Amino acid sequence: MIEIRNVVKQYGDKRVLNDVSTIIDKGKITSFIGPNGAGKSTLLSIVSRLIPKNSGEVIIDGKTLENWPNNQLAKKLSILKQSNHLSIKLKIRELVSFGRFPYSNGYLTKEDEIYIDQALDYMQLKDIQDMYLDQLSGGQRQRAFIAMVLAQNTDYILLDEPLNNLDIKHSVEIMKMLRNLVDDLGKTIAIVIHDINFASCYSDHIVALKDGKIVDEGDIDRIIRKDLLGEIYDMEFSIADVNNMKLCVYY
Amino acid sequence: MKKRYLILLLILLSIVSVFIGVKDVSLRDILSFKDEGLQVMLLSRIPRLISIIVAGMGMSISGLIMQSISRNKFVSPSTAATMDSAKLGVLISLLLFASSKPLHKMLVSFIFAIAGTLLFMQILKRIKFQNAIFIPLVGIMLGNIIDSVTTFFAYKLNMIQSISSWLQGDFSMIIKGRYELLYISIPLLVVAFLYANKFTIAGMGQDFAANLGLNYNRVVNVGVSIVALISSLVIITVGRIPFLGLIVPNIVTIFQGDNMRKNIFHTALFGAIFLLFCDILGRIIIYPYEIPISLTVGVIGSVIFLVLLVRGNR
């Protein structure tokens, strides 16, 4: 369980996060939604110690973030930011191997190789494992990065806009894989996501942010509501029930 | 590019290099311990060969490290103000210590090289416009500013002559007793090998490194220190060798990819081969005279550099 308590982040005079408290529950997909500048990505970066906070606490499995040694935390929690701009010439398998760095410091053991193979299998990258990242499509590349995080074998996986630049087919594919990770392997996943319908269809818990504050949080029925979403995004929404899923229409 | 062939080529060129020169030395002379031939070998030819190999490996790996941690293919010690700062350091040490032992020179120029490189890295962080060509241009500009400071003081103090002797890389002055400082770079190369993985991870960005529990700043500092130290060692013993740190890593990564664990060995070998080849060329073209190595490397290097630029823009 990750507890976020009264977190404040300030850039100059601007408060990007204002006294945010919430909980990321184990074994669930928690989605963070909200308009641009709501502070979703900032929150995720703070939880994963990529950027420092001004005040407040982040407690991961009972220990505050500051008390986690860097390389121990790397075995507990992983974060993937949007990284499609990477121009580095690396093979998929090499990238995935880096996921084992916290365990083996770059000197791969047999056990590491097993994890790497499993991750490649799981993300269906086995056949193309020797291709370079710059030869891949956006969806394949995203899968490669997720495979790396899988090889890292952490309980918590944080993803910042994993669907960015992906077409519908690949987006669905990634979300289904994330769902499986939670249902089959018992991972805990937190994602920042822009497409509310993906959040609605695939998450267990949604946290809605606006202007650095949590407006509301809860399960799908509680968050995917006409008035609440309208308030968050400042626009008209209508919600449709299709195949037991709640879909937002906002065009 | 197989490692085996590279090693074979290096050995072959080494043999050629040792037997080229004004004084004819044959294998029979050495085997029969003929005094003169043996002396030429031990005092001049072999020191020269060793310094070429060490400098070639050192400069190429420096370039590789720089390119990885700055995430830019066109950054190298000569396009990131490292070399120019090291040169300024040598001038300052000549002013500070009248004796100016090589070790003094090295230490002062090392401090300057580190400061100059870190300054460049700081500028790099602040540039919003991260264009592949723009960044090395900034580095070259910064280097030129530092260089003009050096030239200014050198003029004032009537030291232009000694300054220009470091400007041009030249192996013809290498004899026993004048190159041993270069050996310090061998342990540095070993450290670079051990850090290869970490440099690659750091090259994927600060967030990426932090996620894997890697201390990004420490790795970058280790990298910059290695580069600065090797650069100042080379500039003091051999002089400035342009392009080497730029083109060698670029050529190798085309074939081997950017995983440093996999390309660092090739880079070291290819760097030594390239420099040795240029040196041999410089010694044969106007035999029995010599063309300084900075010229042969400069000419061949700039042609390859242009080809890389054109390729990169496609």
3-state secondary structure A12-58: CCEEEEEEEEEEECCCCEEEEECCCCCCHHHHHHHHCCCCCCCEEEE
DSSP assignment string, B156-222? HTT-HHHHHHHHS--STT--TTSSGGGGGHHHHHHHHHHTHHHHHHHTT-HHHHHHTT--HHHHHHH
**Closest residue in A to B71 (Cα–Cα):** A88
Contacts of A98 in chain B (CB under 8 A): 200-201, 204, 212
Omega of the bond leading into B288 within 30 degrees of 0 (cis) = yes
Contacts of A106 in chain B (CB under 8 A): 196-198, 261
What integer pLDDT is reported at residue A28 of this predicted model?
95
DSSP assignment string, A78-143? EEE---TT-----BHHHHHHHTTHHHHTT---HHHHHHHHHHHHHTT-GGGTTSBGGGS-HHHHHH
Q: Residue A90 is nearest to which of B206, B215, B259, comparing CB atoms?
A: B259
Chain mean position to CA B142: 19
- More confidently predicted of B28 and B286: B286
List A246's β-bridge partners, or say none. A241
Pull the structure tokens for residue A147.
Answer: 């495979």
In three-state secondary structure terms, A69 is coil
With pLDDT > 70 as the criterion, what percentage of chain A qualifies? 98
d(CA A144, CA A136): 9
Distance to chain A for B129, nearest Cα, Å: 14
Query: Among B68, B21, B83, which residue's Cα sits nearest to residue B294?
Result: B83
d(CA B302, CA B307): 9
- pLDDT higher than threshold 90 for residue A72: yes
Cβ contact (<8 Å) for B257 and A74? no
- pLDDT higher than threshold 80 for residue B38: no
Cβ contact (<8 Å) for A106 and B213? no
Size of the A and B interface in Cβ pairs below 8 Å: 68
Quick one: pLDDT band at residue B174, thresholds 50, 70, 90?
Answer: confident
pTM to 2 decimal places? 0.89
Distance to chain A for B225, nearest Cα, Å: 21
Q: Which of residues 101-120 of B touch A (CB under 8 A)?
A: none
- More confidently predicted of B287 and A142: A142
Cβ contact B260:B199 at 8 Å: yes
| Interacting residues of B296 by C-beta distance below 8 A, sequence separation 6+ | B278, B279, B281, B282
- pLDDT higher than threshold 90 for residue B313: no
pLDDT 10s digits, B8-18: 999 999 999 88
Query: Among B293, B164, B290, B307, which residue's Cα sits nearest to residue B246?
Result: B307
Contacts of A105 in chain B (CB under 8 A): 197
What integer pLDDT is reported at residue B314 of this predicted model?
46
- pLDDT higher than threshold 70 for residue B130: no
d(CA B116, CA B146): 9
Provide mean pLDDT across the span B19-48. Answer: 75
d(CA A4, CA A58): 5
Contacts of B215 in chain A (CB under 8 A): 70
Cβ contact B72:B202 at 8 Å: no
d(CA B49, CA B39): 15
Cβ contact (<8 Å) for A70 and B215? yes
Cβ contact A2:A21 at 8 Å: no
Asked if the C-beta of B133 comes within 8 angstroms of chain A's C-beta atoms, the answer is no
Cβ contact (<8 Å) for A83 and B215? no
What integer pLDDT is reported at residue B215 of this predicted model?
92
Contacts of A84 in chain B (CB under 8 A): none
Q: Exposed, middle or buried: residue A190 (CB in 10 Å: 0-12, 13-18, 19+)?
A: buried
Asked if the C-beta of B259 comes within 8 angstroms of chain A's C-beta atoms, the answer is yes
In three-state secondary structure terms, B21 is coil
Query: Among A80, A81, A54, A64, which residue's Cα sits nearest to residue A2?
Result: A64
- pLDDT higher than threshold 90 for residue A83: no
What would you report as the CA-atom Rg of chain A, rounded to the nearest whole angstrom? Answer: 18
What would you report as the CA-atom Rg of chain B, rounded to the nearest whole angstrom? Answer: 20
Q: Which helix (H) or strand (E) holds A190?
A: strand A188-192
Provide mean pLDDT across the span A95-109. Answer: 92
Which letter does DSSP use for residue A197 in this model? H
Asked if the C-beta of B203 comes within 8 angstroms of chain A's C-beta atoms, the answer is yes
In three-state secondary structure terms, A147 is helix
Query: Among B55, B6, B7, B61, which residue's Cα sits nearest to residue B190?
Result: B61
- pLDDT higher than threshold 50 for residue B177: yes
Contacts of A81 in chain B (CB under 8 A): 207-208
Which letter does DSSP use for residue A221 in this model? H
**Closest residue in A to B203 (Cα–Cα):** A88
Pull the structure tokens for residue A103.
Answer: 């365990």
| Interacting residues of B266 by C-beta distance below 8 A, sequence separation 6+ | B1, B3, B6, B252, B255, B256
Mean pLDDT for chain B overall: 86
- pLDDT higher than threshold 90 for residue A203: yes
Distance to chain A for B52, nearest Cα, Å: 30
Cβ contact (<8 Å) for A74 and B259? no
What integer pLDDT is reported at residue B158 of this predicted model?
82
Cβ contact (<8 Å) for B212 and A102? yes
Cβ contact (<8 Å) for A79 and B207? yes
What is the total residue count of chain B?
314
d(CA A100, CA A112): 6
Cβ contact (<8 Å) for A132 and B204? no
Distance to chain B for A95, nearest Cα, Å: 9
**Closest residue in B to A133 (Cα–Cα):** B257
Q: Residue B201 is nearest to which of A73, A91, A101, comparing CB atoms?
A: A101
Cβ contact (<8 Å) for A83 and B211? no
Instruction: State the amino acid at position B194 in one-letter form.
Output: L
d(CA A216, CA A210): 10
Contacts of A158 in chain B (CB under 8 A): none
Query: Among A208, A178, A168, A195, which residue's Cα sits nearest to residue A40?
Result: A208
Query: Among A158, A162, A159, which residue's Cα sits nearest to residue A174?
Result: A162
Instruction: State the amino acid at position B75 in one-letter form.
Output: V
Select from A48, A51, A90, A112 the residue whose CB has the most chain B CBs within 10 Å, as the one to mutate to test that interface. Answer: A90
Contacts of A91 in chain B (CB under 8 A): 257, 259
With pLDDT > 70 as the criterion, what percentage of chain B qualifies? 92
